[in-house]
Structure 1
Amino acid sequence: MTRKLFGTDGIRGLTNSEPMTAETALRVGMAAGAHFLRGDHRHRVVIGKDTRLSGYMMESALVAGFASVGMDVVLLGPLPTPAVAMLTRSMRADLGVMISASHNAFQDNGIKLFGPDGYKLSDEAEMEIETRMKGKGELANPGAIGRVRRIDDARGRYIHFLKTTFPEQLRLDGLKVVVDCANGAAYQVAPEALWELGAEVVPLGVAPDGLNINDGCGSTQPATLQETVVASGADIGLALDGDADRLIVVDEKGQLVDGDQLMALIALGLQRRGELRGNALVATVMSNLGLERRMEAAGIRLARTQVGDRYVLEEMRRSGCNIGGEQSGHIILTDHSTTGDGLVAGLQVLATLVEAQRPASELLRQFEPVPQLLKNVRFDGGAPLEAAEVKQRIAAAEAELEGRGRLLIRKSGTEPLIRVMAEGDDAAQVERLVDSICEAVQAAA
């Protein structure tokens, strides 16, 4: 039996279309609330959201669902996903909820659930909640309906937490930092935290209107950040996504630095200080072969998982590692957080920059990436990967790359896309093979 609602990162979809409707959110609240009603204490759920117009609607529906089964609700307002995870633990809540579709456009929304330990739910727990959603559910007696309150200092609590992850002996004085908040959940906390640590802050993407989240800004559209870093003479630029759980960096020359380079930088720093647990870095199958070679040269094992930060985290917990992440910029540092946190990762990069007293363009290039190409093919239902021609071209590409590169074909867990990725030392060969497979997928879609 497989999950139908939950994907690789919670429930996500086009707002006001199944599964992202107020009715479904109500049922999620009732089912998830009932699932976590354990023991005789007053049960509590904390709910945060990003800045999408639909966030109010989804929040209200979830509140009604949770309260109806007897769970008290604490509303945090717009706040990053990792802040919700942190506050779930800090407030001794039974459950945490983030309403966000991460890097997607405003039309989409999503629901991410965290257990009382601040970790995303397991596949098994999500399956149990889906099963509960099919039933009628048991409503609380009138006197046991949950109470709802909003706390006003959630942002301050998270900013304080962020500063505790930055080395106490360091400051960001003299550092000019451009931070692009994607008109999303971190539009207040990110500039404030950097300013409190001493940086000169140039904020971008800090005027959300409900419709402009991730629109021409943030980690997936960093062109404005690149231009601003160069034009303002900044030392570095940080780009977050809509819910601030991922980070992309821009050096002082305006060049992009992806999650692979950042993980290499942080992992090598942990190794140098004797703080790298498990002597390993956990990444996904999407991470560049160059990262694997750099880690191998340093005596660090690279463990790969399927795509999705939840799977990275599962492997980290299983093997006792304290750093893992994705090329896209999800970086998990379990010494500080239970999930990916773009600001925590950004502060580790800034600390290294302050200590090294070197330009970001020199410091952040930890390895030479192997030529890698990723293309997405949109499809409307069906099973294009089962087509004979597609299978034939994939097999031919794998045979051609054997021993000299990698090929990865997969369905997106959050969008109706087939992702085709290849990498190898010959860039022209990589491009030819990717285009050949994409052509076959499009014909079969």
Structure 2
Amino acid sequence: MTRKYFGTDGIRGLTNTAPMTPEVAMRVGQAAGTKFLRGSHKHRVLIGKDTRLSGYMIESALTAGFTSVGMDVVQVGPMPTPAVAMLTRSMRADLGVMVSASHNPFHDNGIKLFGPDGYKLSDADELEIEALIDTAPVLAAPAAIGRARRIDDAQGRYIHSAKSSFPDRLRLDGLRIVIDCAHGAAYKVAPMALWELGADVIPIGVDPDGFNVNAGIGSTHPEAMQERVVASGAHIGIALDGDADRLIVADENGALVDGDQLMALVVTDWAKKGKLKGGGLVATVMSNLGLERYLTGQGLTLERTNVGDRYVLEAMRARGFNVGGEQSGHIILRDYATTGDGLVAALQILSVLVTSGKPASELLHLFDPLPQLLKNVRFSGGAPLDTDGVKRVIAAGEARLNGTGRLLIRKSGTEPLIRVMAEGEDIGLVTEVVDEICAAVVAAG
């Protein structure tokens, strides 16, 4: 069934342009509220957001929608996406909502929905809500309209939950850490959690003004973090994105470490401790072949899924894995969270850093990645991947890489982009293949 509102990660778009308008947000609240009005108990939805200007508008519209069908609303203000998932469970809410466009710029926004178990909704649930969005809602009687209230201690609850993932016997004393919060949802909680564990914290990206979320900073723009690590003589740098469900790390030399290397470290550490479940990890088709070869050498497996942390999580739950994630830095540790959590993942990395006594540059580079190149091609409409010319060029590229690498072409689920990725042992060949396919897509568009 074709989706009208939901993409690969909730509903997302340019603010005040369909579908990210207050009208649609209110209808989403009414539709999701209607679906989750189950049982005779008093129903509750928890709403969090990041720091972008439009968050106030979308939060208010959602609140109007939920209360109009009889759901109480708990507003927690700016909080990381994983905090919303955790609080939804701990407060026994029927539904959790995160208002965020993740790593996108301030002018975009989005709506992510979590079920009462703290997991993102299934495709089937989202399709049911889609059908209800375009259906006239059954409004609550005047005496049954929901109430809305804001709670003030949500940040402390999440900090406590995140710190509980860190070994009780350890502290971060003597560790100098740069933490880049992207002027986003974790701008208070992440530096505070690290400080409470004893670290010498150097925070950047902690002055949100509604417009600067992810603007030249955070996990998608880690240059400021890298520079600060070197300039301050820090032991490690951590960059989160706007809703803090992903991270990228820099070692003490400012060299970047992506999600593949971070997952390799966690899996290796957990396997040694007997904590690992599933015999390996779940990652997407984007993860480097170097990671796969490293895991094979460790006697561990790599299960691949389509791109999207929701698909990683579905595979983890179905196959019994407790570690999974994406090269981009979404890392899911099911022992501690029901979704990607940048802070919790960072604490796992820091725990190994403390106990090993090794510098981050040695600890965080477990394998040599194969040369990999990803380019995005914007298109104005149509289906360029279905044209004969593009199909011929893709087939030729696959033949050239056969046995020495691999090719992945996909359409973005959130933007009008074709993503072209190739990796292999010969960077020259990889570059030629990617450039030829990108040129063919441009010509077709």
Name the TM-score, length of structure 1 as normaliser: 1.00
Equivalent residue of 2:278, what SS?
helix
Mapped to 2, the partners of 1:325 and 1:2 lie a distance apart of: 27
Q: Is residue 103–residue 220 contact of structure 1 (8 Å, CA) maintained in 2?
A: yes
- Deviation of the 1:364 alpha carbon: 0.1
**2:12 aligns to what?**
12
Counterpart of 1:246 in structure 2 is 246
How far apart, CA to CA, are the structure 2 residues paired with 1:70 and 1:423?
Answer: 52
User: 2: CA distance between counterparts of 1:124 and 1:106?
Assistant: 30
SS in 2 for 1:337: coil
SS at match of 1:12: strand
Shift of 1:443: 1.2
Match in the other structure for 1:156: 156
Alignment of 1:252-331 (within 5 A): 252-331=252-331
Whole-angstrom distance in 2 between the partners of 1:240 and 1:77: 18
Distance 2:333 2:249 in 1: 17
398-407 or 323-332: which moved more?
A: 398-407
2:409 partner SS: strand
The match for 2:169 is 169
Partners of 1:286 and 1:185 lie apart in 2 by 26
Match of 1:122 in 2: 122
TM-score between the two structures when normalised by the length of structure 2 = 1.00
Contact 1:291/1:369, CA 8 A, preserved across alignment: yes
- Equivalent pair of 1:162/1:343 in contact (CA under 8 Å): yes
Moved over 2 A (4+): none
Residues 19-418 of structure 1 aligned to structure 2 (within 5 Å): 19-418=19-418
Q: Supply the distance in 2 between the matched residues of 1:112 and 1:349 (Cα, whole angstroms).
A: 27
Code of the aligned partner of 2:136: K
Q: Aligned partners of 2:413 and 2:236: how far apart in 1? A: 32
Give the CA deviation at 1:386: 1.1
Taking the aligned partners of 1:55 and 1:79, their CA distance within structure 2 comes to 12
Deviations 1:368-411 (A, max 9, x none): 00000000001112111112111111000111111211100001
Deviations 1:331-388 (A, max 9, x none): 0000000000000000000000000011000000010000000000011121111121
User: How far does the alpha carbon of each residue in 1:76-123 deviate from its partner, in whole angstroms, 9 at most, with x for none?
Assistant: 000000000000000000000000000000010000000000000000
CA contact (8 A) 1:282 1:315 kept: yes
* Contact kept? 1:3, 1:126, Cα under 8 Å: no
1:415: Cα distance to partner?
Answer: 1.2
Take 1:8 and 1:167, find their aligned partners in 2: how far apart are those partners?
34
Do 1:325 and 1:332's aligned partners in 2 also have CA atoms closer than 8 Å? Answer: yes
For 1:405 and 1:7, how far apart are their aligned partners in 2?
30
**Letter paired with 2:177:** V
- CA distance in 1 between partners of 2:152 and 2:381 (Å): 44
CA distance in structure 2 between the aligned counterparts of 1:288 and 1:278, rounded to whole angstroms:
20
**Residues 414-433 of structure 1 deviation map (CA, whole Å, 9 limit, x = unaligned):** 11110000000001100010
The amino acid that maps onto 2:132 is R
Residue-by-residue CA offset, 1:173-230 (whole Å, 9 max, x unaligned) = 0000000000000000000000000000000000000000000100000011110000
SS at 1:278 equivalent? coil
Residues 260, 288 of structure 1: 8 Å contact kept = yes
Secondary structure of the equivalent of 1:395? helix
What is the CA-CA distance between 1:65 and the residue it aligns to?
Answer: 0.1
Residue 2 of structure 1 deviates from its aligned partner by 2.6
Contact 1:295 1:302 in 2 (8 A): yes
Cross-structure match for 1:423: 423
SS at match of 1:277: coil
Assess if the C-alpha contact under 8 Å between 1:246 and 1:331 holds in 2: yes
Instruction: Output one character per residue of 1:141-193: Cα deviation in whole Å (capped at 9) or x when no partner.
Output: 00000010000000000001111000000000000000000000000000000
CA RMSD of aligned residues (A): 0.5
**Which string of whole-angstrom CA distances, capped at 9 and with x for unpartnered residues, describes residues 122-141 of structure 1?**
00000000001111010000
Identity %: 71
